[in-house]
A and B are shown apart, each in its own frame.
Chain A
Amino acid sequence: MWDWNYTLSFIPELLGALKITISATFVGFFLACLLGLPLTMARRSRCKPLSLVTAGIIEFIRSTPLLAQVYFIFYVFPNYGLSLSPFAAGVIALGIHYATYLSEVYRGGIEAIPKGQWEAARALNFSKSRTWIKIILPQAIPPILPVMGNYLIGMFKETPLLSAITLVEILQVAKITGAQSFRYLEPITIVGILFLVLSYISSIGVQRLETKLNRR
């Protein structure tokens, strides 16, 4: 049933593609973390119109399929002079999509800080930036790290979507390999195992982090 020689023959190529999958995940997540910040700030702005428009944008991005956004960036942007490689288009789409989730996570973390912390900071005459850096963020970030970790894992599992814009990530490689040799069992199974193992290890990491944070 299972052909080990065949399996060994495509493993190197698969591991090469795994690099692409993992870098797409990390670059996309890095973008999402960055883009989430201005979204949070705009959402929390005292300027009502800005806050409402941002809430609208966030809602729109969250409730349309990621695949549609990926297509849009890859196939529609070139019409306006912006042609992107599959990798670039993919990570931008992932980054924007997940930024909307992360911005809400940030917002939750910040709003969980009691008003008294802001007031104590003001009473001690901390500047705005010092208040953020020394008082608010050190309290807001640790509790949201596990949630962010779970989004990282979620994003990793969504990367095969990028094969739709010809990015050669692992599932795509598995599919091509299968099509060439008419044997799908081994490549697809191995991809499944790779996803399982990596997600599982990461989620154990997240759990560890969570217990560590809860102990404090």
Chain B
Amino acid sequence: MKLNITKPIIKYRNISKSFGSLRVLNDLSLDIAPNEKVALIGPSGSGKTTLGRLLMTLERPDAGTIEVDGEMLWHKEVNDQLMAADEKHLHRIRSKIGMIFQQFNLFPHMNVLRNVTEAPIHVLGLSKEEAKEHAVAMLKKVGLGERMEHYPSQLSGGQQQRVAIARALVMKPKVMVFDEVTSALDPELVGEVLAVIKEIASEGEMTMLLVTHEMDFAREVADRILFMDGGAILEQGPPEQIFGNSQNPRTRDF
């Protein structure tokens, strides 16, 4: 597949973010091409999650801009001036982005089917029948066609995470953020979740930002690996380069 990096779908520009006195992202810039699969690796606390959360609008940048599909995410351009975006604007841009969390974050009071149909009905305005049709198809795709009446507490972690993936996918985002989606799972359940992600990745039509500690998975799925440390991207390149003969001693150590 050919990636068009001259027309990025995501542009981070000079992004800085601090929590109190802790500077988590430091003047970071990054372009991601449409349909590109980018794996983010790096030591704990290096700012990987924060980078994804900024895109999902769960955190607000202190400085810099993020562009999604040609539009500012956190800002609005009014007479050539950048203004803070209002909720309406955020709502519109956010519809292009989805995120999968480490802790699944399923809605415990809804069964699997309702977890997946709730947002299509109440956010996209689909009819119940339509939403159900999409949800059933998506749940089958992630291998949970038989579990639709179950509640999240009745599922294994791996199953819950696959529901979360289905729940995000029915919203048809262009970009998906996966934040260490297997690190809360028992080792024997990691494979089933990674397999689902690999399948989605192989279909091509999705831009993915994958924060992961699973190096084999990153090597297999990603077009590009980013190594982050101290709130900056220290090194990046195709998997062969990063895993093969990294120029950077810190990357090699890691």
By secondary structure, the A interface counts as helix
Among B87-108, those with CB < 8 Å from A are 87, 91, 94-95, 97-99, 101, 103, 105-108
Interface residues of B in 103-139 (CB under 8 A from A): 103, 105-109, 118-119, 122-123
Q: Let me know if A125 and B58 touch, CB within 8 A.
A: no
The answer to whether B106 and A120 have CB atoms under 8 Å apart is yes
A residues in contact with B57, CB < 8 Å? 122
State whether B105 touches A119 (Cβ < 8 A). Answer: yes
**Alpha-carbon distance between A138 and B108 when the two chains are bound, in angstroms:** 10
* Nearest chain A residue, comparing its CB with the CB of B151: A216
Taking CB as reference atom, which chain B residue is nearest A120?
Answer: B105
A127 touches B56 (CB 8 A): no
Name the distance in Å between A154's Cβ and chain B's nearest Cβ.
28
CB distance from A27 to the nearest CB of B (A): 31
Contact of B91 among A117, A120, A123, A127 (CB under 8 A): A127
Q: Known contacts A116-B103, A117-B105, A134-B118; is A124 also within 8 Å of B58 by CB? A: no
Q: Does A126 contact B (CB under 8 A)?
A: yes
| CB-defined contacts of A138 to chain B, threshold 8 Å | 109
State whether B56 touches A125 (Cβ < 8 A). no
| B119-A126 in contact (CB<8A) | yes
Q: Find out whether the CB atom of B107 lies under 8 angstroms from the CB atom of A125.
A: no
Contact in complex: B99, A139 (CB < 8 Å)? no
Please give, as numbers and ranges, the residues of chain A lying within 8 Å of B56 by CB-CB distance.
Answer: 119, 122-123
With an 8 A cutoff between CB atoms, is B224 at the interface? no
B168 within 8 A of A: yes
Cβ–Cβ < 8 Å partners of A123 in chain B: 56, 58, 94, 97-99, 101, 168
Would B105 and A130 count as touching, CB distance under 8 A?
Answer: no
CA distance A117 to B123 in the complex (A): 16
Question: Is B171 a contact partner of A124 (Cβ separation < 8 A)?
Answer: yes
CA distance A122 to B94 in the complex (A): 9
Query: Which residue of chain B is the closest to A135 with respect to CB atoms?
Result: B107
- A138 to B114 Cα, complex, angstroms: 14
In the complex, the answer to whether B122 meets A116 with C-beta atoms within 8 Å is no
Partner of B122, one of A122, A128, A134: A134
Q: Which of B91, B103, B108, B119 contacts A139 (CB 8 A)?
A: B108
Q: Would A130 and B123 count as touching, CB distance under 8 A?
A: yes
> What are the residues of chain B within 8 A of A135 when measuring CB–CB?
107
Known: A124-B168, A125-B94, A125-B123. A116 touches B105 (CB 8 A): yes
Chain A residues, CB < 8 A from B101: 116, 119-120, 123
Seen from chain B, the residues whose Cβ lies within 8 Å of a Cβ on chain A are 56-58, 87, 91, 94-95, 97-99, 101, 103, 105-109, 118-119, 122-123, 164, 167-168, 171
Beyond A123-B58, A130-B123, 13 extra complex contacts between A and B, CB < 8 Å: A116-B103, A117-B105, A119-B101, A120-B105, A122-B58, A122-B94, A123-B98, A124-B118, A124-B119, A124-B168, A125-B91, A125-B123, A139-B108
Q: Hey, which bits of chain A sit against chain B, CB under 8 A?
A: 114, 116-117, 119-120, 122-128, 130, 134-135, 138-139
Instruction: List 16 A–B pairs whose Cβ atoms lie within 8 Å, in order of A's numbering.
Output: A116-B101, A116-B103, A117-B105, A120-B101, A120-B105, A123-B94, A123-B98, A124-B119, A124-B167, A124-B168, A125-B91, A125-B119, A126-B119, A134-B122, A135-B107, A139-B109
